[in-house]
Amino acid sequence: MLLRRSCRRFNSTSLNNAVDTLAEITTTNKWKYKLDDNVESDLQNEKIKTKRHPGIVPSAPINIPESFIKAAKIILEDDCYIPKKQLSGRSENFVKYLKAKKPPMEQDELQAHISNLKTKVIKGLQKSKKDLLSDEHVMKSQLTNLMKKTVYNWFPVKYDIAQSLCYLVGRSAAEYAVLIKILSEIKLRNPDWKPLTLFDFGSGVGTVTWAANTIWPKSFTEYFNVDSSASMNDLAELLLKGGRGEKEISLRGVYYRQFFPSKPVPYDLVVSAYTLMELPSLKSRLDAVRQLWSKTMRYLVIVEQGSYAGFKVINEVRDFILSLGNSHVFSPCAQDYPCPQFASNKELPCNFAVRYHDLPLNDISQNLRKEKFSYIVLKKGKRSENDSQWPRLINPTLIRHKHVICTLCTKEGKIEQSVFTASKYGKLAFRCAKASDWGDRLPMTVKDTPDDVIVDENVNLDKEITNK
């Protein structure tokens, strides 16, 4: 009876508190981090607030510009031969396909996979139907069935007029929001830098141009857009003309091409968003990246889906560019070591999220959505000695009673889970941790104490972390 009463008292709340307390004991024998000296001084002098510390990138839901929405509505009313309901359904299915897309299997991987499947078929027949081992038709039939189930059927998307309109409806708002999030951090950390030239590879409906002009208005003198689809280029140009087919577009210096320019002219900002997965092999992807890097004067931005496949492509780019030298990772990594998330072999993507309002088809309120993405921003030249290299939150912050749990990617090239409390770190540091969220940098530096303990990378504090 006494045991039953004790079990009743030990309710779910008590269990959660016990787990959180255990997590704190498990992960922090020493308090490794301290607030950045400059940030701490600014907070104490009330120059900044903890909710607006310099590691935070604003996370309010992002709206695509009204001028873009108006132009899109005009195009869909005047130039679209597909009924709106049908277009909406096709767009949703197309978006699902793009989010699940993977790069094609390399030839050596494919040959090894086929060899393994043949062995599997032979073993299966040896167990049940030995008399069919010599029947080539049976062998081929079973092998074909296994290949259909296990080999990803990759093919490039052909963007005709209808497919381009589906992309406009289904992807433009999400991509614009992602680009605003990424470019905002570049401006936040380099407020005096004003790019003059932009090169966009795989420009699609022109979301990079719109986002760059939002972040640095009236700064650019040239926007060079390359997309292999003539329909996409025409649609992007029409959007800048307000959807009315005017002779003049709203920005100066905007160019559209279907191929890389022959002249090796460098650009301040080079971007490739959701394009590399459309290339047929690793070699073609790296060849394209090499060309993009040769055109980069300051920053190269690569964005892909927030899936593991997208993250894998981003990591390929990261390793390849760093191997060329004269470069470093500006964002999201605080270091240039091999990616600890990819090295863990858990097939969990390093991704981030942004909230946005979708593109309204009708005169109704826009739905609030969330887009996950993987990205890399690479910068020309060596890393500055003044680079703070603050750790970045790679999972949502877990706020608990009197403590905050943060999963951090650090400048040492490790993933650490740290518990911040006001009693151990001080109120200012605790409030900064509490105000920070997934994708932000934590304005902390490592204490100089030599016996600080680095926490176990494999500790799983909460199921919420893996279900981000």
For the chain, 468 residues long, give each residue's pLDDT as a single digit of tens: 333 433 434 344 444 444 344 333 334 434 688 999 999 999 999 999 999 999 999 889 999 999 999 999 999 887 777 877 788 889 999 999 999 999 988 888 888 888 888 888 777 777 666 666 666 777 788 888 888 888 888 888 999 999 999 999 999 999 999 999 999 999 999 999 999 999 999 999 999 999 999 999 999 999 999 999 999 999 999 999 998 877 677 788 999 999 998 877 899 999 999 999 999 999 999 999 999 999 999 999 999 999 999 999 999 999 999 999 999 999 999 999 999 999 987 889 999 999 999 988 765 556 899 999 999 999 999 999 889 999 999 999 999 999 999 999 999 999 999 999 999 899 999 999 999 999 999 999 887 644 444 444 434 444 444 455
Same domain as 240, residue 333:
yes
Same domain as 38, residue 139: no
Same domain, 232 and 134: no
CA–CA gap between residue 393 and residue 33 (Å, rounded): 14
Residues 460 and 329 in one domain: no
Contact 228, 200 (CB under 8 A): no
| Residue (of 441, 308, 330, 307) closest to 376 by Cα position | 330
* CB 462, CB 419: distance < 8 Å: no
The answer to whether residue 32 sits within a structural domain is yes
Assess if residue 86 is contained within a domain.
yes
Q: How far apart are CA 88 and CA 67, in angstroms?
A: 21
Q: What is the distance between the alpha carbons of residues 182 and 376, in angstroms, rounded to a whole number?
A: 9
Q: What is the pTM of this model?
A: 0.86
Per the domain annotation, does 8 fall within a domain? no
User: For residue 318, what are the domain limits?
Assistant: 66-99+156-380
Q: Are residues 411 and 329 in the same domain?
A: no
The CATH code of the domain that includes 340 is 3.40.50.150
Do 115 and 144 reside in the same domain of the chain?
yes
Q: Which of 324, 348, 380 is the last residue of a domain?
A: 380
On whether residue 371 sits in a domain, the answer given is yes
Regarding whether 174 and 160 lie in a shared domain, the answer is: yes
Task: Give me the number of domains the chain comprises.
Answer: 3
Residue written as tokens 């008399």? Answer: 131
